[in-house]
Structures are given as structure tokens and as C-alpha cells.
A and B are shown apart, each in its own frame.
Chain A
Amino acid sequence: MSCSNLTMLVSSKPSLSDPSNLSFRSVLNPFQLPSQNPTSCTPSRSSTTQIQCGLRELRTRIDSVKNTQKITEAMKLVAAAKVRRAQEAVVNGRPFSETLVEVLYNINEQLLTEDVDIPLTKVRPVKKVALVVVTGDRGLCGGFNNAIIKKAEARIRELKELGLEFTVISVGKKGNSYFIRRPYIPVDRFLEGGTLPTAKEAQAIADDVFSLFVSEEVDKVELLYTKFVSLVKSDPVIHTLLPLSPKGEICDVNGVCVDAAEDEFFRLTTKEGKLTVERDVVRTKTADFSPILQFEQDPVQILDALLPLYLNSQVLRALQESLASELAARMSAMSNATDNAIELKKNLSIVYNRERQAKITGEILEIVAGANALQ
């Protein structure tokens, strides 16, 4: 508006015959026009060069957001691939778990009339509890690590209220760094998590837990990990790891037991073009126990050897579920980040185009005003 008024003012001047006045007006015009445009475009009153800097900064920021979007999208795809691999690891471990549970069941039947005394199933009055806390190694996975750490903190508070001692075995870098910064929480051991859980890692945890329990330093061992429910939902849970139930059941803190033979597993499928998870109960065929099967050793001895295997498989299962949950959480987090980046890029582009148009309009007005001044 101000530019338009100025133009009209200039056009009325040619009617005057005094050349000196006209010359004076021409000198004024170039001076006023640049000062008007910066005021309307940016708060800072600057020359035309600053407008260029503003546009260049916007362009740089748009490129930066675009790069971030590429990174988060790549991370999302990598996490999706790893979830599939984690699922395959669980499937590969199924025959072992099923055979183990089957053998435990059969041997347990033969022991119904006998009094079994096995260290790992001995139920003692609980004075001290060990908590095995399974966290991830890296961030950028939403509230995954925080959720399990909060669960551990809540459990620690409960144990304190009950007047029980406790110690923590921390698995994973995120948990390690958390507990290192809190000296008031007693930590028995810090263990590294791997990129893909293996029997060796589960063995390290199981060995630690085994020696703690058998040497009677603790009376109960609880396993805190994130149970994989679906690609969009994970559930931090607490399972009692030791003492073991001879029948191979999984018991939670409240004593609710679920038969471990009901081995659900998650399966990634493409349903209507989207990744979905279906939980399915599939049993691998295993040969029936032969009625004439002989036991090389006393059934109690066999059970004594089988239960550590079972302990190890439980720990491995927890590690695998925790990893799958972490990857699913990372998938979700990176997907959200990608969507945010796309929206931000769109908004920045709008601002950039608007500023560019304003700059061009300003330049055109300058040219028109200059042309009119020359008449």
C-alpha cells in the first residue's frame, strides 16, 4: 500500500514545470523504496543482501530436514528387517523349548510319588530378591527403555516396603548407565547385551543367577523384560525365574502360572499392504516317549540337569522378546519422526515460497517506480 501511494505521489509531480523539484524527487525515491521492503518482509531493517541470507537459511533448513527424514526412514526400514530376524530366532528356538517342556512333563510324571529335592526348585522363605533387568543398548526407540526402568523402580519400591533386601543384575547399556548413576541401588553385576541374543549371553545371565540362588545369597530371582505383544504394543512384565516350577511353568509375581508349553509366537505378515503381527500357536511334531524308555540315571538326576537347560531357555526367550519389542518401538518412533519431518518440510517450503514471492514483488515494484520516476 505504501509503495502504491508513493507511486501516485510521483506521478502527480510531472505536472510541475520546475525541473529542480523533479530532480529532488528522483533522488528521494531510490532511498525510500528499499527501506520499505525490509520492514514489511523481516523485522530487521537491512539491505537487500539480508533478504538473500534469510532465504538461503530457509533453503538450508529445508535440506537439513529432508536429510533427517531420509535417516529416520532408513532406520525405520532397518528396524523392520531386524524385527523379522528376531522373529526367526524365536522360531528357530522353538523345537528346543518344546522338547524340553515335553521331557520335563514326562519325567515329572514319574516323580509324582517321590519326594524331589532339587536346588533350583527349592522354595525358601524370601529375604532377598535378585532382579534381572533387561534393557536395550541404544536409544531412539520411544519409551522402551524408560518403561522397563520405571517397572524396575516400582518393584524396588515394593520390595523396600515389604522389608526385603534386593540386588539388581542389569543387562543392556541403557540399564547399566542408569544404575551406575544411582549408587544407592545395589547392583550385583552389569552385563552387556548383544545385537542378537545368543545362547552364550543367556548362559552368562543364567550362570550368574544360578550361582546366586544355589549359594543361597538370594532366595528368589525375578526377570524384568519387555514382552512383545504386537508391533505397536509392548508390555513390561515381571516373571519369577527362580525357584523353578518342576512342571516348567512360568509364574508371575502374583503367583499366576501359565504353562510354558503354550508357546505363542509372533509372525510378521503383509495384510492389505501393511505390516501386521499375528500370534499363532503352532506345535512342532515331536516323537512320543517310548513306553520302554529307560533312564540312564536316576530321574532326579536327569531333572537336575534339565532344569538349568530350562532356565537358560527362559532367559534366552526373555532376551529375544525384549529385542523384538525394542526394534518394534524403534520402528514406531522412526516412523513418527519421518512423518514429522515430512510435515515440517512442507511447512518450511510454504514459508520459503511466500518469502520468495514477497521478494520478487518488491523488486518489481522498485522497477516500476524507477521507470515512472524517469518520465
Chain B
Amino acid sequence: IREARDYDHWRSCLSTNSGQIGVLPNHAPIATVIDIGILRIHLKDQWLTMALMGGFARINNNEIIVLVNDAEKDSDIDPQDAQQTLEIAKANLNKAEGKRQTIEANLALRRARTRVEAINVIS
């Protein structure tokens, strides 16, 4: 569980599977699916970027609860390793045979791309 609590100047951006949404203070209570994508939190004049690997988020009473399978901070990601993983994932997708391998390769590719995007995000 990762929580961003009640601060006057906080806000965040979430990638949901129906597009990105921004959350400002006093947002209406919602529950949403989190796609494989980037979470960005603005707190005390600085942005925190994280790569999320799919999950669920709930916004309630100026509190966001994000449940994900896996999450990585941009500072924890090694740029070269992430880029290499992306190339490997692309190659695997081209070579994938059958329904199952395609599903697996697609998931791996989306995860790898998200990690690369988390590093290269422009604010």
C-alpha cells in the first residue's frame, strides 16, 4: 500500500485504463483500475515518479490508496538495464508463437516500456 496523504499542495496523476486522470485536493470519491503505467505525485514542490505494474486505486477523503502488484521509483530504475529489457521484450514479442506466449510477451513489453518511460518522464 502506498499512500499520499492530506497536504495543501499535493496532487497526482494516475494512468487508468480509460486514460490518465489528475487528482487534486478534495477530489470526489472514486475507485479505478490502474493500468501498467506511471504514477506521479507532487508534494512539497517536487515530483515523485513511479512505475506501476497494474492494480487498483481508491480516492476518498483526500486520501489515495493504490494497490499494485509491483512498483518502482524512478530513482531505483537502472536506465541501461531498463532499455535493454525493453529491447529484449520487443524481440520476444516478434518471436512469440501461440496465444499464451503472445499474452506473456505483451505483458513483458508493456512493463518494460513503463520502466523506460518512468526514467524519461518530462515534467
State the A residues within 8 Å of B (CB): 95-96, 99-100, 103, 107, 199-200, 203, 206-207, 211-212, 214-215, 217, 287, 289-290, 292-297, 301-302, 304-306, 308-309, 312
Contacts of A289 in B (CB 8 A): 60
Contacts of A290 in B (CB 8 A): 29, 60-61
Q: Is A297's CB under 8 angstroms from B1's CB?
A: no
Chain B interface residue bracket vs A: 20 to 34
Residue of B nearest to A93 (CB): B1
| Interface-lining segment among B74-82, B87-95, B100-108 | B100-108
B123 within 8 A of A: no
Q: How many A-B residue pairs have CB under 8 A?
A: 91
Residue of A nearest to B105 (CB): A211
Neighbour of A296 across the interface among B21, B67, B68, CB < 8 A: B21
Cα distance, A292 to B61, chains bound together (Å): 12
Q: Is A305's CB under 8 angstroms from B63's CB?
A: no
Cα distance, A107 to B58, chains bound together (Å): 12
Check A305/B30 contact, CB under 8 A, given A199-B70, A203-B70, A296-B18.
no
Cα distance, A309 to B61, chains bound together (Å): 24
Neighbour of B33 across the interface among A203, A287, A301, A312, CB < 8 A: A301
Neighbour of B100 across the interface among A211, A305, A308, A309, CB < 8 A: A211
In the A-B complex, list the 10 residue pairs whose CB atoms are closest, starting with the nearest. Answer: A296-B32, A305-B33, A215-B100, A290-B29, A293-B29, A294-B30, A215-B99, A211-B100, A312-B69, A211-B103
B25 within 8 A of A: no
Residues from 1 to 54 in B contacting A, C-beta threshold 8 Å: 1, 16-18, 21, 28-34, 53-54
Cα distance, A148 to B114, chains bound together (Å): 38
Cα distance, A257 to B23, chains bound together (Å): 39
Residue of B nearest to A198 (CB): B70
Contacts of A100 in B (CB 8 A): 56, 67
